[in-house]
Structures are given as structure tokens and as C-alpha cells.
Amino acid sequence: MATKPNRTPIPSCLVIGGCGFLGSAIVKSLLEKHPSCRITAADIRLVNQLADPKINYVTVDITDLASITSVVENAKPEVVIHTASPVHGLGKEIYMKVNVEGTRNVIKACQEVGVKVIVYTSSAGVVYDGSPLINTDETEPFPIVPYDAYNDSKAIAEVLALEANGEKGMLTTALRPAGIFGPGDRQVVPGFITVAKNGQTRWQLGNNTNMFDFTYIDNLAIAHILAASTLLHQHASTGATDPSVDQRSHLDGTSLFITNGQPVYFWDFAKAIWCHYGVYNAGSIVMPRGIGLIIAGLAEGFSKLMGREPGLTRFRVTYSCAHRYFDIRKAKDLLEYEPEVSLSEGLRRTIEWFKAEEAKAKA
């Protein structure tokens, strides 16, 4: 059992990707948890800015070493939280450029300026190869053949971040979230809402025996802050480099799975969303996974010929039939991480936000 973690207040923090879905949530949590922290939020596009004079918003392109170095030099943060990443579903080239080369640039800039701590946002998908992940912990190796370009790039970037641990006095860690959702989500919940609005909820892919992990955005934001403050304390302590100290109690150089700690049957999660839209008889027609893959393959081929995006893909079939949930005991031990917002409450807040946005659009 790891010892109880000690934490240090965060005096200054640069959040890379600070205007994004996760980054903006981290900025908000920093304001609440560390009100004296000097915050710099950097992103390639300055959107979703919080109206608070404590936050300095700056433009950055992490694929340009000079750009990120200039931002780090001007901010002079003790902590850098690196969340910037393209969304899932794009091409390999953009992932390698942003996630891999961009992360390499972030590390170089931080080392040059003398940053003490980097917390890197990885992904639970880095260990996924299409096989079931059942209560998987951090001993699970990366797959020999990556499942897709996104997770491949996140795995490479995670390795870069962790290999930088201890170099030039800097401590690093990587957090691996699964199924991030919440207000502002553009990846997980919107797809389910679209299915409800299109009247497609009667179809269910697979028999719904597969359990899946999701992570509410505010819980994930707090996990990043816990990691940063824990590493700061370790950086200041002599135990950080003392070989006589039990290394299992150290966060630096490690990766942690972060979820809500409430695995749920995949389609139960979808149905919980649909209930908020008045749909209570979902999943009456069950399509076996094998048939779904065949139909999806045909849909992809037809859509390619027609020059449009397919509504059903083999990735979506595999994803919605996958067993993917994780053991978060390491995060609980090293961070004292406990999800503050339950899955049901997180969904309630998320749907409330989406409905408010829909009302604004109609006004």
C-alpha cells in the first residue's frame, strides 16, 4: 500500500490546450482549488475563455518549438499540464504532428525554462488492441499492433513524457482517462443524442453484456490538479531522489488510469441519456456484433464511393461491443483520487447543458 500522498499548493500553472474541453475544466478547477495560482491558458485558438482576470490566455502552436518555448518562457510556470490533442477520428499525420512532435516540443521547452512538473493527458486507449480490457491496471503493456493512429500517437507521447522524468530536475506523470464526458463534450454524448433525435434508438449493437468505463470531466480535471500538487510536493522533498524511500509511493515516472470508478453496461449508459429525451423502449432490435461488422464494412465501402461519411463504421461497432473498464486503485493510492461527481449526476448535468445549448440555438 502506498503511503498517504502529500500535496503542495500550485503557485503557477500553464495549461496547454487550456481552451479545450478538458483544458478549460482544469483552468476552472484551478481557480476553485488553488485561488492564488497564477494561471496561463494556452491554445491554438482562444475560444471558451473564462471571464476571470486571474487567467492569462495566450495563443500557442505546440508543433512550432519557438512558439511553445516563447509561451513557457513568458509564463515561467512551476507546473505544466499538457492536454492539447486533436479529437479522435482524424488521420495519422495530424496525430503524429501534434501528439508526438508537439509533446516533444513541450518537453524541450519545459526543460529549457526549468519547469518542475509536467502532467500529461494520455488515454486509456493506449493499451487497447480490440481485445477485452477487464478491470485492467497499469501493468497492461502497449499492444504490439496499435489499434488506431490516435491511440498509437498517445502511447508514443506518453512514453516521451515519462522518459523525461528526472531529466533536468523535472518530474512527470501521465493520466489515462476513459470515455470523457460532460458539459461541452463533442465526442461521447453528442453521438447518442443524435441517435435519439434520428429515431434510431430501437437498434442495439451486441447483447449489452460488455462493461465500459466513463469519466466525468470535473473528476478528471481534479485528478490532474491532484497529480500536479502531489508531484510538486515530491519535487520539494528529499525523498524524491532518495533510493531508501519506497518508490511505490512515488507518482513521478508513472501512468495512472482515471475513470469514474463505475463501470456500466455500454447500452445502459446510452439508454440513460435517451431517457432524458423521452425514449424509454430503446434496444428492442439487437444486431449481433458479427453482422454489425459486415454491414458497417459495406456502409464504409458505399460511402467511400459516394464521397460521404458513413453513418455506421466498423470502429463504432467494435467500440460499442467492447469490454473496456479499468482498475483505478493506483490513482486512489497515489493521489487519494475519489470521483466527486457520480455517473448519474454527471449525466444529469451534461444533458442539462446540452438542452440549454439547444434552447439557445432555437431562440
Q: What pLDDT digit, counting tens, does each position of 326-358 carry?
A: 999 999 999 999 999 999 999 999 999 999 998
Beta bridge partners of 39: 13, 55
Please give the share of the chain, as a percent, with pLDDT higher than 90: 70
Domain boundaries, the chain: 12-184+212-263+325-340
User: Which set of grid coordinates corresponds to residue 351?
Assistant: 444533458
Q: pLDDT tens, 128-179?
A: 998 999 999 999 999 999 989 999 999 999 999 999 999 999 999 999 999 9
Strands (E) across the chain are located at: 12-16, 38-43, 55-59, 79-82, 117-121, 133-136, 171-177, 180-181, 203-205, 211-212, 215-216, 254-258, 264-265, 285-287, 324-326
Q: Are 119 and 224 in contact (CB under 8 A)?
A: yes
What pLDDT shows up at residue 100? 98
Q: pLDDT tens, 186-207?
A: 989 998 998 888 888 888 899 9
Q: Which of 192, 191, 198, 251 has the alpha carbon at shortest distance from 227?
A: 251
**CB neighbourhood size of 288 (10 A):** 12
CATH of domain 12-184+212-263+325-340: 3.40.50.720
Q: pLDDT tens, 85-142?
A: 999 878 899 999 999 999 999 999 999 999 999 999 999 999 999 899 999 999 999 9
What pLDDT shows up at residue 4? 64
What pLDDT shows up at residue 266? 95
147 is catalytic: no
Q: pLDDT tens, 222-271?
A: 999 999 999 999 998 854 444 444 444 589 999 999 999 999 999 999 99
Cα–Cα distance, 324 to 131 (Å, whole number): 9
What pLDDT shows up at residue 61? 98
pTM for the whole structure: 0.92
Question: What average pLDDT does range 2-21 have in this prediction?
Answer: 87
What pLDDT shows up at residue 199? 84
- 95, 128, 147, 150: the catalytic one is 150
**CB neighbourhood size of 32 (10 A):** 11
Please give the share of the chain, as a percent, with pLDDT higher than 70: 95
